[in-house]
C-alpha cells in the first residue's frame, strides 16, 4: 500500500466537548443549579489520537444537576422568562425526530400519532396531545428539513445523555411494529451520524436497547 494511502487511512476527526466557563443559573427543568458552558469542537485525529483542534461547531449550557442542555441565551434572561420560553433541548429534539421519521414516507397515520405520544411520555414523563403532535407535524412540514438536516443543526446543543434520549426515541418509533427492518436500521444510522456519534457508539447503544427489550 502506498505510504500516502496508508497515512490517510489513519486520519480521522471526532468531536470533543470543552468547558468554557461555569456558574449558577435558573434551570428550566430543576430550578437554581450550577451550569457549565460547553463548546463542541471538531478535532483531527491520527490513529485515534488527537493531534490538532479544528473549528468550533457550537456551544450549549449543561445543567450540572439534571444534565439537561439548553441554548446559551438561557443565561441572559430572568427566571420568569426562562419558565415561559425554555424547555430542555432534548424534549424538542425528541418530538421533532419522531415526527420527521414518521414523515419519511410522506404522511403520518393515526397509529403513528398514538406511537409518538406513547414514546414521548415513556421517555420524558410529559404528555403530548393529538393537537400538540399535529402542530409539530405542521411546523416540520413548513420548515421542510429532513431528520438528518434537523439533527445536524441542533447536535452541538445536545450532550451525550440527550443524544441517547433522541436515539431511544428514534429506535422506539422504528420498532413500534415489532420489527427492525433494514431500511429502519439505515435511518437510525443516519440519525446517529447527524448527532455526531461514531458507529461504535451507536452500535453499543442499539445493543443496549436490544438487551433491555429482551428482558
% of the chain residues with pLDDT over 90: 33
Domain boundaries, the chain: 9-85, 89-214
Higher-scoring residue by pLDDT: 210, 142: 142
Closest CA to 165 of 67, 77, 32: 67
Residue 1 in this model has a pLDDT that exceeds 80: no
Position 133 scores a pLDDT of 94
- Residue 129, C-alpha cell as written in the block: 396531545
Q: Is-above-0.85 flag for pTM?
A: no
Closest CA to 189 of 177, 199, 178: 199
DSSP annotation string for 130-141 = HHHHHHHHHHHH
Residue 2 in this model has a pLDDT that exceeds 60: no
CA distance linking residue 145 with residue 178, whole number of Å: 28
Position 97 scores a pLDDT of 93
Q: Please state which CATH number belongs to domain 89-214.
A: 1.10.3680.10
Residues 15, 20, 26, CA angle at the centre, nearest 5°? 110
CA distance linking residue 36 with residue 34, whole number of Å: 7
Residue 7 in this model has a pLDDT that exceeds 50: no
- Tell me the per-residue pLDDT of 158-175, one tens digit each, with 9 for 90 and over: 888 889 999 999 999 988
CA distance linking residue 78 with residue 191, whole number of Å: 34
- Tell me the per-residue pLDDT of 15-64, one tens digit each, with 9 for 90 and over: 778 899 999 998 888 778 899 999 988 766 666 666 666 677 889 999 99
Tell me phi and psi for residue 17, to 5 degrees: -110, 125
Region 202-213: mean pLDDT is: 88
- Tell me the per-residue pLDDT of 65-110, one tens digit each, with 9 for 90 and over: 998 889 898 898 777 776 555 566 778 889 999 999 888 777 788 8
What mean pLDDT is reported for the chain?
83
Residues 43, 52 contacting (CB under 8 angstroms): yes
Residues 54, 162, 56, CA angle at the centre, nearest 5°? 15
Amino acid at each position: 500500500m502506498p505510504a500516502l494511502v496508508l497515512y490517510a487511512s489513519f486520519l480521522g476527526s471526532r468531536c470533543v466537548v470543552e468547558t468554557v466557563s461555569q456558574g449558577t443559573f435558573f434551570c428550566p427543568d430543576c430550578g437554581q443549579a450550577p451550569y457549565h458552558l460547553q463548546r463542541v469542537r471538531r478535532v483531527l485525529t491520527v490513529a485515534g489520537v488527537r493531534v490538532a483542534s479544528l473549528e468550533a461547531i457550537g456551544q450549549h449550557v449543561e445543567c450540572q444537576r439534571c444534565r439537561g442542555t439548553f441554548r446559551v441565551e438561557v443565561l441572559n434572561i430572568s427566571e420568569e422568562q426562562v419558565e415561559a420560553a425554555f424547555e430542555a433541548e432534548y424534549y424538542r429534539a425528541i418530538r421533532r425526530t419522531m415526527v420527521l421519521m414518521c414523515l419519511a414516507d410522506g404522511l403520518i397515520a393515526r397509529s403513528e400519532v398514538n406511537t409518538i405520544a406513547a414514546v414521548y411520555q415513556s421517555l420524558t414523563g410529559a404528555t403530548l396531545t393529538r393537537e400538540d403532535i399535529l402542530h409539530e407535524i405542521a411546523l416540520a412540514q413548513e420548515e421542510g428539513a429532513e431528520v438528518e438536516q434537523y439533527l445536524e443543526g441542533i447536535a452541538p446543543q445536545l450532550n451525550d445523555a440527550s443524544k441517547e434520549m433522541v436515539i431511544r426515541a428514534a429506535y422506539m418509533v422504528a420498532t413500534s411494529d415489532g420489527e427492525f427492518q433494514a431500511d429502519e436500521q439505515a435511518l437510525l444510522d443516519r440519525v446517529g451520524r447527524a448527532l455526531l456519534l461514531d458507529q461504535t457508539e451507536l452500535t453499543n447503544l442499539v445493543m443496549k436497547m436490544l438487551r433491555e427489550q429482551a428482558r
